[in-house]
Structure 1
Amino acid sequence: MPLTQNSQEQQLLDKLRPSRIVLPVLIGLSVVGFMFWRSYKPGDLAPLANAKLHWLAIMLVVLLARDLGYVYRIRHMSERALSWRASLDVIMIWEFASCVLPSAVGGTAIAPFLLNKEGITLGKSLAYVMATAMLDNLYYVIMVPLVVWVAGDALYPHEALQGGLVATLRVAFVVSYVSVTLYAGLMLYAIFINPLSVKRFLVRFFSIRGLRRWRAKAYQHGNEMVWASAQLRGNGAGYWLRAALSTAFVWTARYAVIGCIIAAFVNVNANEFALIFGRNLTYKVILLIAITPGGAGIAEGAFPTFFGKFIGTPTMTNFIVLLYRIVTYYMYLVLGAIFLPRWISRVFVKQPAP
């Protein structure tokens, strides 16, 4: 059968099998259940009766806009080699992969395989995925100074952490930002200026004693940058402008979801909404180092530390944690389990000749 002809394809599909949703769901719901058990008091959920339905509607619009933005971006960046239906399938499975794989790996590891099975050459598939990763990193690089300028030290949850832990979080945030900035700069230089020099640098750097175990991967990554440069360098300013604007759109929508949910149950002014948006950037540091699938358990456990002060009681905070994870995580587990079998039957199973 076509599905078993290539062992690498089989391994990738094994990573995406729908049964993998069980573990992250159990971990996440167990953590939320424990948090409810520890904090619940009668009457704490009274604000639910006064929920602002227009904010919940805005949240749904933001979620839909985000997904449509992702679909548009991948279709645009693939130079319309993907149909709208194929673009939707790719994004849903990409999100599903991000949910069932550790956050440090994410769906990016699976994305070139998805594009390649849609008929795009491997070189172009790698190029498009690397370009999206570069733009994602550049959004982070640009936004962090803006939110630090606006929010200052309020980005860190002093009210929930002791001084030593705040200092640790601050160091982790700075290290994360510097790392992302260096990597984004390296990708920019490789794609647009001199990919061969970047490849040589990576190989030499990972030839240092203690880093040699990653030298083969560095060599492969260097080759991928050379391929990406060859595929993307000829695209004009209009191509990159649309790609950059769609990237800014989807990530802004992604970070706005928490604020919309909180505003549905708690009165939030514009300054608080902006601070909630900014704290997403420090919250992301915790998710980047999470070793569980999709950050399950860790994302739920860390949420009250970063956003609890805007909500009030621990019980309401736990409810909002659950709602947030339902619409941004568990929903994509379900959608992925629906889209994945349909995608496999479409790209692997040949249609009978008429």
Structure 2
Amino acid sequence: MNKENHSNRRMDTKSQEMLKSLSPKKIFLPMVVGLGAIIYLMATDEKMDFDKVIEAFKNINIWWVVAAFLVLFVRDAGYMYRIRHLTSEALDWSSSFFVILLWEFASAITPSVVGGTAVAVFIINQEKVAFGKSLAYVMLTAVLDNLFFVLASFAVIFLAKGDIFPDDAKSLVIMGYELNLEQIFLVSVGLIAVYTVLMSWGLFFGPHSFKRLLAKITSNKLLRRWRRSAIRSGNEMIIASKELKGHTAGYWVKAIVSTIFIWSARYLMLNCIINAFLHVNLFDMSFDEVYTQFLIFARQIIMWIVMLISPTPGSSGTAEYFFGEFFEEFLGAGLVLAVALLWRLFTYYAYLVVGVFVIPRWITRIFKRRQTVKTR
């Protein structure tokens, strides 16, 4: 009985820590950083012409904006479908709604290099999915997404034939090294590829050897302080691996296709936003205009990978800066920063605001469910 009470207390403490990490108060730092970056970039841009920006927004094609909203909703519906499918429909549509929006919120308030993985496991677990299965589904999602990033990025680089990286993009000094966009991309995609290979190996082929590798790495004096965490991660990998065995080929096909759909929709939304300013006629495009649409889509894949190594919450500041570097040639100096703000409103700030309203409803929902269980 004492062991059970101790276990319950540990679970309650862990739940409190996770709920604290979902605090609506955490939206202020990423908002300040992101908006501060936009204001700074606008203020220091000598080519900035606010009159032209205002005129561009006045003449915006509203139908492309509506299309951007529709693509956003379709993308979120795709996320909900995928998490339902991965859990073999253990989550209903209502649970999937809360899981996806809270997962997006958690990702928005944590650094991109960290992501909202731990919080996502907690959220799914609270929706009556066993811990081992919750962990497996979140790890599988990470592997699927990263595989898409790596494979899609090299595919578009091959198809674009040298047009992916802007010629006039500025270099950045990172940890004492001056790197251009292509070099930053190569570092980031290399790290993602290594992480994905290790995760795939651990999940699908050798979870026990993965644990032994982590233990061996952290046996070094310099890394010994992380040994306990590494062993725990190894144990979690073994649990997750067991949960993913026995699925049919159809399960994996649907998981892969839904991942491609989700990310394609995310990237196509930016095409819609930029088209609203370029006044593109979807039904009367020349070959050059079609290629421009492809470049906008392709560059966003590359930009997303570059953003993934950002140490700021939700890539705040980093995303706005790189947006200007990748898309200035399509929109012109000055306007590109205003469009960057609009893009972040759609893809980032909206989830911060929605999360503030969804979190209390979700907590109330979970609390009522627990009370119902206790009274039975």
Q: 1:162 to 1:30 in 2, by over 3 A?
A: closer
The Cα RMSD (Å) is: 2.4
Could you report, residue by residue, the CA deviation over 1:95-147 in whole angstroms, capped at 9, with x for unpaired residues? 01111111112222211100111111111110111111111111112112211
User: In 2, Cα distance between the equivalents of 1:159 and 1:177?
Assistant: 22
Q: In the alignment, does 2:88 pair up with 1:61? A: no
- C-alpha displacement of 1:12: 1.3
SS in 2 for 1:42: helix
Q: In the alignment, does 2:340 pair up with 1:331? A: no
User: In 2, Cα distance between the equivalents of 1:346 and 1:12?
Assistant: 16
Q: In the alignment, does 2:326 pair up with 1:306? A: yes
TM-score calculated relative to the size of structure 1 = 0.92
Q: 1:50 to 1:3 in 2, by over 3 A?
A: farther
Q: In the alignment, does 2:46 pair up with 1:27? A: no
Instruction: Indicate conservation of the 8 Å contact 1:172/1:285, yes or no.
Output: no
- C-alpha displacement of 1:10: 1.1
Q: In the alignment, does 2:276 pair up with 1:264? A: yes
- C-alpha displacement of 1:166: 8.4
Count residues in correspondence: 352
TM-score calculated relative to the size of structure 2 = 0.86
Q: In structure 2, give the amino acid aligned to 1:144.
A: S
User: In 2, Cα distance between the equivalents of 1:329 and 1:3?
Assistant: 35
Within 5 Å, give how 1:143-292 maps onto structure 2: 143-161=152-170, 167-266=179-278, 269-292=289-312
Q: 1:168 to 1:202 in 2, by over 3 A?
A: farther
Q: Name the counterpart of 2:285.
A: none
- Equivalent residue for 1:114, pick from 100, 109, 123: 123
Q: In structure 2, give the amino acid aligned to 1:57.
A: V
Instruction: Indicate conservation of the 8 Å contact 2:99/2:123, yes or no.
Output: yes
Q: Name the counterpart of 2:18.
A: 12
User: In 2, Cα distance between the equivalents of 1:36 and 1:169?
Assistant: 21
User: In 2, Cα distance between the equivalents of 1:176 and 1:75?
Assistant: 30
Q: Name the counterpart of 1:84.
A: 93
User: In 2, Cα distance between the equivalents of 1:5 and 1:220?
Assistant: 16
Q: Name the counterpart of 1:134.
A: 143
User: In 2, Cα distance between the equivalents of 1:189 and 1:106?
Assistant: 21
Which deviates more from structure 2 when the two are superposed, residues 44-53 or residues 317-326? 44-53
Q: Name the counterpart of 1:322.
A: 341
Which deviates more from structure 2 when the two are superposed, residues 83-92 or residues 180-189? 180-189
SS in 2 for 1:296: coil
- C-alpha displacement of 1:5: 7.0
Q: 1:318 to 1:3 in 2, by over 3 A?
A: farther
Which deviates more from structure 2 when the two are superposed, residues 206-215 or residues 172-181? 206-215
User: In 2, Cα distance between the equivalents of 1:167 and 1:178?
Assistant: 15
User: In 2, Cα distance between the equivalents of 1:5 and 1:149?
Assistant: 49
Q: In structure 2, give the amino acid aligned to 1:248.
A: I
Instruction: Indicate conservation of the 8 Å contact 1:3/1:348, yes or no.
Output: no
SS in 2 for 1:102: coil
- C-alpha displacement of 1:267: 5.2
User: In 2, Cα distance between the equivalents of 1:311 and 1:130?
Assistant: 38
User: In 1, Cα distance between the equivalents of 2:294 and 2:220?
Assistant: 44
Instruction: Indicate conservation of the 8 Å contact 2:24/2:356, yes or no.
Output: yes
SS in 1 for 2:52: coil
Within 5 Å, give how 1:39-54 maps onto structure 2: 39-54=48-63
Instruction: Indicate conservation of the 8 Å contact 1:3/1:10, yes or no.
Output: no
User: In 1, Cα distance between the equivalents of 2:200 and 2:15?
Assistant: 30
5+ residue gaps in structure 2? 1-7, 281-288
Instruction: Indicate conservation of the 8 Å contact 2:112/2:308, yes or no.
Output: yes
Q: 1:163 to 1:42 in 2, by over 3 A?
A: same
Instruction: Indicate conservation of the 8 Å contact 2:189/2:305, yes or no.
Output: no
Q: In structure 2, give the amino acid aligned to 1:219.
A: I
Q: In structure 1, give the amino acid aligned to 2:72.
A: L
SS in 1 for 2:113: coil
Q: In structure 1, give the amino acid aligned to 2:71.
A: V
Q: 1:233 to 1:282 in 2, by over 3 A?
A: same
SS in 1 for 2:163: helix
- C-alpha displacement of 1:214: 2.9
User: In 1, Cα distance between the equivalents of 2:83 and 2:62?
Assistant: 32
Instruction: Indicate conservation of the 8 Å contact 2:171/2:181, yes or no.
Output: no
SS in 1 for 2:161: helix
Q: 1:179 to 1:4 in 2, by over 3 A?
A: closer
User: In 2, Cα distance between the equivalents of 1:328 and 1:225?
Assistant: 31
- Percent sequence identity is 41
